[in-house]
Structure 1
């Protein structure tokens, strides 16, 4: 059996990228689902929070699509931003509260909130690592002048 290290490296990179994209997309879908489940009471309690949840859910799903179906590196950064915004919202809600919504101050152990924190942190970490690993590569400067034969061979 003939092994080609370059091909093995390319396959490994492809599998890693697919796994990361899937993790981010499933995480973003999880963020949307968790906020859908929590939004039911928000409609009658604090209407503006309900609409913030709707915006988060839509943003999470659109960004999941971008991560899955786009080759743009910025999609990874957008995924981290969406998840981080939800994470920051949770921390603000549990520390100082939101306008007309202070009932959750100090309520750090609510199960849906803990699940949300876990998923959001996972998406942030995987997205930022993926974004960093996909940094544009700079081309090495050519230090020799190609010969005419080299130019014609191309």
Structure 2
């Protein structure tokens, strides 16, 4: 049974479904980008980060659909922010042992990813803040 304090009635079913679908889209984009579920990108730490992101995105979608909105929206914010930062760092200064994407700002899949993650961030961050305010009242 979900903890009542972790659910927020003001979070609509449509918002939770949209958040869940956006999380699943983030996971799918990263599976495609890495070349499949069983493939791990190089360098190894980037590949592991992709797998962690994909797993957390799916878990987050489930949490949102189960109305566990406070942890769901918190994780959804992370699912959005993590890859956004990864995109910026990998294309600007590069990452340790990973400079292949420096300057590659217009890659189609990367731009789709930015759009999905941006939409998720715009949905998740305010919803998480509302869930915190609800807890305090």
Following superposition of structure 1 onto structure 2, how do residues 1-150 of structure 1 map, counting pairs within 5 Å? 17-40=12-35, 43=40, 45-134=42-131, 135-136=133-134
Structure 1 or 2, whichever has the larger Rg, is: 1
Gaps of 5+ in 1: 1-12, 140-154
CA spacing shift, 1:46–1:71, aligned 2, 3 Å: closer
Runs of at least 4 residues of structure 1 off by over 6 A? none
CA distance in 2, matches of 1:125, 1:94: 23
Q: 2:4 corresponds to which residue?
A: none
Q: How many corresponding residue pairs?
A: 126
What SS does structure 2 have at the residue aligned with 1:127? helix
Sort the Cα spacing of 1:62 and 1:98 in 2 relative to 1 into closer, same or farther, 3 A: same
- Structure with the bigger RCO (C-alpha within 8 Å, sep 6+) is 2
TM-score by length of 2: 0.81
Cα distance in 2 for residues equivalent to 1:22 and 1:98: 34
Moved more, 76-85 or 24-33: 76-85
Q: Shift in Å at residue 137 of structure 1?
A: 5.9
